[in-house]
Amino acid sequence: MPWLHLHIGNNGTAKACCIANIPFGNINEQSFDEIWNGKEINELREKFLQNQPDKRCANCINREAGGATSYRQETHEKFKDFDITKENQLPIYFDIRFSNVCNFRCRTCWHGASSKWFNDAKKLGRNVGEKAIIQNITDFNAFIEKSGPALLNAEEFYFAGGEPLVTEEHYLLLQWLINNKVTNCRLRYNTNFSKLNFRDYDLLDLWSNFPEVEILASIDGVGKLGEYIRTDMKWDEILINREKIRSSPPIQFKIAPTVSVFNVAHLPTLYIEALRLKMIEPDGIYLNLLERPTYFNIKILPTEKKEEIRLSYQKFFEKNEVPKSVINSFKEVLSFINTDFDKNLQEKYWQQFQDEKLKLDLLRNDSSTS
Structural contact between residues 68 and 289, judged by C-beta atoms closer than 8 angstroms: yes
Query: Rounded to whole angstroms, how far apart are CA atoms 183 and 205?
Result: 13
Q: Does pLDDT of 369 surpass 80?
A: no
Percent of the chain whose pLDDT exceeds 90: 92
Rg (CA), the chain: 21
CB 170 within 8 A of CB 158: no
pLDDT tens-digit readout, 90-142: 999 999 999 999 999 999 999 999 999 999 999 999 999 999 999 999 999 99
Q: Where are the beta strands (DSSP E) in 195-339?
A: 197-198, 201-202, 212-217, 230-231, 251-255, 258-259, 288-289
Residue 370 has pLDDT above 80, yes or no: no
Report the candidate in 363, 294, 366, 365 with the shortest Cα–Cα distance to residue 117.
Answer: 363
* Tens digit of each residue's pLDDT (9 = 90 or more) over 59-91: 899 888 878 889 999 999 999 999 999 988 999
334 touches 313 (CB < 8 A): yes
What backbone torsions phi and psi does residue 200 show, to the nearest 5 degrees? Answer: -95, 5
Contact 201, 233 (CB under 8 A): no
Q: For 32-44, write each residue's pLDDT tens digit.
A: 999 999 999 999 9
Distances (CA, A) of 88 to 4, 36, 81, 220, 238: 11, 10, 17, 42, 44
Burial class (CB in 10 A: 0-12, 13-18, 19+), 143: buried
CA distances from 29 to 13, 102, 179 (A): 9, 25, 27
Phi, psi of 222, deg, nearest 5:
-85, 140
Q: What percent of the chain has pLDDT over 70?
A: 99
What does the pLDDT look like over 181-230, one tens digit per residue? 999 999 999 999 999 999 999 999 999 999 999 999 999 999 999 999 99
Segment 42-62, tens digit of pLDDT: 999 999 999 999 999 998 998
CA angle 259, 264, 268 (to 5 degrees): 110
Is 191 in contact with 159 (CB distance < 8 Å)?
yes
First to last CA, the chain: 39
Could you tell me which residues are beta bridge partners of residue 201? 198
Pick from 76, 79, 83, 89: nearest CA to 36: 89
